Amino acid sequence: MHPVPVPQFLLLDDSYADVQAFIAMVKRIGLVNTVRAVGTLAEAQGYLAAASESTLPVVVFSGGMLPDGDGFDLFAWMEDQDLPVCAIPTITLEKPLEMYDVIAALKVLALPERARIDTTTLMVRVELWPHGTILSDA
C-alpha cells in the first residue's frame, strides 16, 4: 500500500517575489504541504477543474491585490462548483505577508493536522489535511 501524499496548497499570485516569500514562510512555519503557484485566474480554474479529488489542494490562497480581482473571481467561481471544489477553504493574503496572520487564518480553518519531529533537525513539521480526513498515528 502506497502512502497518501500530503495535499498541497494552491497559490494564485502573479508576482514571483511574493510566491517565493510565501513558500519560504510556509517552510519557516513548519508546514510540510508544498505550494503549487499559478499566475492567472484561468490557470487556477483549469487546475482545479482537472484535478482528481485526491490531488485537490487543502487550501487555496490568493495573493490579494491581483489585477482585475482575480482572487475574488476565483473564490466566487469555486463556490459555484460541485463538491469537493466548492468545499476547499480559501484565504486572501494581505501584503506584506505576515507570518502570524497566515498562522491565525489557518488555525481558524481547524483542518486536521499531523505533527512529526524531523530527527535530523529536531524541528516539528506539520501536515495539514482536508476536513473529514481521518489521520492514523502511523
Q: How far is CA 28 from CA 32, 71, 133, in A?
A: 10, 24, 25
Instruction: Give the residue extent of every domain in the chain.
Output: 9-110
* Fold type of domain 9-110: Rossmann fold (3.40.50)
User: pLDDT-based confidence at 96, cuts 50/70/90?
Assistant: confident
pLDDT at res. 40: 92
Alpha-carbon distance of 14 to 62, in angstroms, equals: 10
User: pLDDT-based confidence at 63, cuts 50/70/90?
Assistant: confident
**64: CB partners within 8 A, 6+ apart:** 71, 92, 93, 94, 95
Q: How far is CA 84 from CA 24, 44, 71, 129, in A?
A: 28, 15, 19, 14
For the ranges 2-6, 9-13, 53-57, 107-111, the lowest mean pLDDT is seen at 2-6
Higher pLDDT, 14 or 4: 14
pLDDT exceeding 90 applies to what percent of the chain? 72
Asked if omega into 57 is within 30° of 0 (cis), the reply is no
3-state secondary structure the chain: CCCCCCCCEEEECCCHHHHHHHHHHHHHHCECCCEEEECCHHHHHHHHHHCCHHHCCCEEEECCCCHHHHHHHHHHHHHCCCCCHHHCCEEECCCCCCHHHHHHHHHHHCCCEEEEEECCCCEEEEEECCCCCCCCCC
pLDDT at res. 122: 82
